[in-house]
């Protein structure tokens, strides 16, 4: 599997699939969808910037700065962008360790010097795994649709309590609606590749604060969710032609 950046002015990522060529990732396609939670976060960045400037000014008067810090708390002046980058890094680390545990290449992960949020997320996964009848089939495997031209990486395909299930791990603060489109797209791609049915799709959130929730996408919703994903793909392709390819032509 090779995930490639393309030389145009956008953040699109493509998988290089033998015999097919470059096809877009599912997560790239879904960037076309407005995400209210992310937009709310972005709106707060102006406030964060103002806090950083105020912090710099207050440092010119140390006594006043210390007094304000005591009243507001140490998190008040923390850069929101830094927080987001830090959270993404923790999520990437947790994903890597969970993959290693499933593939039995990182069974000694507990000996590593890891940030607390990563440890919390991995421990949350272990609690879920230990209470679940989990029989692994594939971990971190590329799935793609040759017919429709998209690809992604499924965190796991396994029998969960006796039912073949496509599993997706999240370390976000919630399970957001677009996750359903993402995982159902993975399911259809995996079915196309194998020719075998995957009746269940589950999203498991292993929080960096130790919280946990799992969500089964209702099987009756799979066809309509996949239709919505294909609609998003068409919109992404149009947007890309109009705003990206046209802009660099």
Q: Which regions of the chain are under pLDDT 70?
A: 1-12, 35-88, 107, 244-249
pLDDT of residue 164: 98
Instruction: Report yes or no: 31 and 11 within 8 Å, Cβ to Cβ.
Output: yes
Predicted structure pTM score: 0.76
Residue 83: predicted pLDDT: 46
Contacts 24+ apart (CB under 8 A), 74-81: 76/51, 77/51, 77/52, 78/48, 79/48, 79/52, 80/41, 80/44, 80/45, 80/47, 80/48, 81/45, 81/48
CA angle 134, 137, 143 (to 5 degrees): 125
| Contact by Cβ (8 Å): 10, 240 | yes
Question: Given its phi and psi angles, is residue 103 left (phi above 0), alpha (psi -120 to 50 degrees) or beta?
Answer: alpha
Residue with tokens 């105020």: 54
- pLDDT score for 5: 41
* pLDDT for the residue numbered 87: 55
Check residue 80 and give its pLDDT.
Answer: 46
């Amino acid at each position: 599997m090779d995930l490639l950046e393309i030389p145009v002015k956008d953040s699109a990522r493509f998988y290089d699939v033998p015999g097919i060529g470059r096809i877009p990732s599912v997560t790239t396609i879904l960037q076309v969808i407005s995400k209210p939670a992310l937009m709310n976060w972005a709106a707060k960045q102006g406030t964060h910037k103002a806090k950083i400037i105020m912090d710099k000014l207050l440092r010119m008067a140390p006594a006043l700065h210390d007094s304000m810090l005591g009243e507001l708390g140490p998190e008040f002046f923390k850069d929101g962008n830094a927080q987001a980058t830090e959270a993404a890094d923790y999520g990437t680390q947790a994903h890597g360790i969970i993959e290693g545990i499933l593939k039995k290449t990182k069974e000694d992960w507990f000996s590593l010097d890891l940030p607390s949020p990563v440890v919390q997320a991995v421990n949350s996964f272990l609690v879920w795994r230990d209470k679940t009848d989990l029989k692994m089939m594939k971990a971190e495997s590329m799935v793609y649709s040759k017919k429709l031209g998209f690809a992604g990486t499924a965190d796991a395909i396994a029998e969960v309590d006796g039912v073949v299930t496509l599993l997706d791990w999240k370390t976000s603060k919630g399970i957001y609606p677009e996750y359903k489109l993402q995982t159902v797209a993975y399911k259809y791609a995996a079915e196309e590749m194998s020719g075998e049915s995957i009746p269940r799709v589950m999203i498991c959130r292993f929080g960096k604060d130790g919280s946990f929730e799992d969500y089964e996408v209702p099987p009756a919703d799979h066809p309509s969710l996949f239709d919505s994903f294909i609609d998003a793909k068409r919109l992404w392709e149009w947007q890309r032609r109009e705003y990206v390819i046209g802009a660099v032509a």
